[in-house]
Amino acid sequence: SRTVTRNTDGVVTVGGIDVVRLAEEFGTPAYILDEDDFRARCRAWHEAFGGQADVFYAGKAFLSRAVVRWLYEEGLNLDVCSGGELATALSAGMPAERIALHGNNKSVAEIERAVEAGVGRIVLDSFQETARVAGIAERLGRRQRVQIRVTVGVEAHTHEFIATAHEDQKFGIALPGGHAAEAVRRVLGHGSLELVGIHSHIGSQIFDMSGFEVAAHRVVALLAQIRDEHGVELPEIDLGGGLGIAYTPDDDPCEPHEIAKSLTEIVTRECAAAGLAVPRLSVEPGRAIVGPTTFTLYEVGTTKPLETLRTYVSVDGGMSDNIRTALYDAEYSVALVSRTSDAEPMLSRVVGKHCESGDIVVRDAFLPADLAPGDLLAVPATGAYCRSMASNYNHALRPPVVAVKDGQARLIVRRETEEDLLRLDVG
Ligand code: LLP
């Protein structure tokens, strides 16, 4: 992230604090989050659209109460996808009207909680859920604002990045075959629902705008169809999240202002062609906001050189704090951060301490040949989908999240303890 430098001893510092101090104070592994960077990314997204769009941070990437407060202060909204995320958002004081509830199988309890709290929108994902939300809103005497999540129906094999917009998957209501149009009819038939817009999320870690073009084109075509059939112009379009970030130096992501410009142009052009007023746009970046703000700090426990192959470097975490390498074959980079080294670079694999060969953090990396137990390694870009997907596999204790800013470090999520684990074990 932006405030990472090396001090005169060769120790990496972030937000004005060196990593050796961070490791001493908070232990390893730990997620180190640069608060200024997080806030700057929020502002960049907010300002990119010049106030003409609403930015909903996708809480699934990483959520804590401190994060909710930063979002609130920076003028962002929040997309939650479970009762747990909703509870976190409300307990940290996010106004309910700035919250959107997502999910392909929201429970009755989750819907009730959201409607009662007065969330700004619920994104409907099926016919059954439409009836469910309508019934709950009616019973609670509310008129709930909703969007309909559509899947724009692009075959997955054309571009792998549109992997949640193709037909054969669980999310949303299919545009092809008239299913989405039927959902619109049903929603409009419920007095307890206020249909405010159409939602599309095409996938994640996307580097190319063409998938958004297809989505916008088809969503706008649906808006035109709704106008023709029902005489209403829906005021909102949400194009979801999914903007990619750099995990390695080879990745070349777009900046928020480039994305904003291109999404605005696409929607404006498509609406002009369909003779529609341009609806209010919203987006839901998760990874692009929090991903780059954080690195995971690990301590090396053992190094095992396998002749002619590579050196296995074992760190004190692994697949329990970063499942993405094992699950998606994701690529990460890694650096020695507690000192500099002039030793020859050796081909290495950074692995965790779990009981699986697939417990890999960084598949291929060059690390100095004098790497030794006690050295600290940093794996950058672990802010999204690492702590939020962390597990207790092998009864690992999930690492803390430490926010650094202006030379100060503070815990925003503490490390789990054995008492935390045992508290759940009531047998
Ligand atoms: N909106 C909706 C409706 C979503 O389903 C998602 C992500 C987002 C927004 C945010 O997408 P982002 O901007 O973060 O790409 N665990 C996977 C990613 C799963 C994304 C799920 N939905 C990973 O680690 O890559």
pLDDT digits (tens, 9 = 90+) for 391-416: 999 999 999 999 999 999 999 999 99
74 and 159 within one domain: yes
Mean pLDDT of 52-58: 97
d(CA 304, CA 11): 24
Q: Quote the DSSP letter at residue 396.
A: P
Q: In terms of domains, do 131 and 203 share one? A: yes
In angstroms, the first-to-last Cα distance of the chain is 45
Strands (E), 116-270: 121-124, 144-151, 173-174, 193-199, 236-238
User: Do 209 and 330 sit in the same domain of this protein?
Assistant: no
What kind and span of H or E run contains 258?
Answer: helix 256-274
Listed residues 273, 291, 309: the one ending a domain: 291
Question: Is 347 within 8 Å of 311 (Cβ atoms)?
Answer: yes
Nearest ligand 1 atom to alpha carbon 330:
25
Residue 20 shares a structural domain with residue 44: no
Q: Looking at the whole model, is its pTM more than 0.90?
A: yes
pLDDT tens, position by position, 339-359 = 999 999 999 999 999 999 999
Sheet containing strand 12-14, edge to edge, reads 5-6, 12-14, 17-18
Are 114 and 18 contained in the same domain?
Answer: no
In angstroms, what is the span from residue 306 Cα to ligand 1's centroid?
37
pLDDT, greater one: 309 or 409: 409
pLDDT reported for residue 162: 46
Ligand 1 pocket test, pick from 123, 282, 287, 322 with the greatest ligand atom count within 8 Å of Cβ, gives 287
Do 357 and 268 fall within a single domain?
no
Higher pLDDT, 389 or 211: 389
Q: Which amino acid is at 340?
A: T
Would the annotation count 287 as a binding residue? yes
- What is residue 159's predicted lDDT score, i.e. its pLDDT? 46
- Rounded CA-CA distance 228/224 in Å is 6
The string of pLDDT tens digits covering residues 267-285 is 999 999 999 999 999 999 9
Which atom of ligand 1 approaches the CA of 204 most closely?
15
What is the per-residue pLDDT for 161? Answer: 47
Cα separation, 25 vs 352, in Å, equals: 22
The rounded percent of the chain whose pLDDT value lies above 70 is 96
Domain hosting 363: range is 5-33+292-424
Read off the CATH number of the domain in which 276 is found: 3.20.20.10
What pLDDT is stored for residue 1 in this prediction? 45
Tell me if 284 is assigned to a ligand binding site: yes
Rounded Cα gap, residues 325 and 319, in angstroms:
8
Percentage of the chain modeled with pLDDT above 90: 89
The residue whose CA is least distant from atom 8 of ligand 1 is: 241
Residues 160, 162, 166, 168, Cα dihedral to 10° = 50
Question: Of 215, 258, 261, 256, which Cα lies nearest the Cα of 237?
Answer: 215
Mean pLDDT of 221-248: 96
356-379 CB burial, b ≥16 within 10 A, e <16: eeebbbbbebebbeebeeebbbbb
Ligand 1 atom nearest 206 alpha carbon: 15
Claim to verify: residue 11 and residue 151 sit in the same structural domain: no
Predicted local distance difference test score (pLDDT) of residue 155: 53
When mean pLDDT is compared over 175-179, 248-252, 304-308, 356-360, the highest value belongs to 356-360
- Catalytic site residue 355? yes
Among the listed ranges 110-124, 164-178, 269-283, which one has the minimum average pLDDT value? 164-178
Q: What is the CATH number of the domain that holds 316?
A: 2.40.37.10
Task: Return the pLDDT at 156.
Answer: 42
Domain count, the chain: 2
> What does the pLDDT read at residue 164?
66
What is the mean predicted confidence (pLDDT) over 160-174?
75
Q: φ and ψ at 421, to 5 degrees?
A: -65, -45
Residue at a domain's end among 247, 269, 291: 291
Segment 175-228, tens digit of pLDDT:
989 999 999 999 999 999 999 999 999 998 988 888 888 899 999 999 999 999
Q: Quickly tell me which residue has 């054309």 as its tokens.
A: 158
Distances (CA, A) of 91 to 67, 73, 197, 289, 361: 12, 15, 28, 22, 33
The per-residue pLDDT of the chain, averaged, comes to 95
84 with 122, same domain?
yes
Residue 219 to residue 181: CA distance in whole angstroms: 11
Catalytic residue among 81, 254, 355, 386: 355
User: Is 285 known to sit in a ligand binding site?
Assistant: yes
- On the question of pLDDT at 157 being above 80, the answer is no
Instruction: Confirm or deny that 242 is annotated as ligand binding.
Output: yes
Residue 206 has a pLDDT of: 87
Domain edge (last residue) among 265, 291, 317: 291
What's the mean pLDDT in 140-150? 98
The interface predicted TM-score of the complex, written ipTM, equals 0.99
Find the 202 Cα to ligand 1 centroid distance in Å. Answer: 9
Measured by CA distance, the residue closest to atom 20 of ligand 1 is: 204
pLDDT in tens, 320-332: 999 999 999 999 9
Q: What is the pLDDT of residue 30?
A: 98
User: 39: pLDDT confidence band, cut at 50, 70 and 90?
Assistant: very high
Question: 345 preceded by cis ω (within 30°)?
Answer: no
Q: Which of 165-174, 201-210, 305-314, 362-371 has the lowest mean pLDDT?
A: 165-174
Does 282 share its domain with 329? no
Residues 46 and 95 in one domain: yes
Atom 17 in ligand 1: which residue has the minimum CA distance? 385
Residues 260 and 282 in one domain: yes
* 59 and 102 belong to one structural domain: yes
Per-residue pLDDT, averaged over 33-37, amounts to: 97
Which amino acids bring their CB within 6 angstroms of ligand 1? 58, 60-61, 79, 102, 201, 204-205, 240-243, 284-288, 324, 328, 384-385
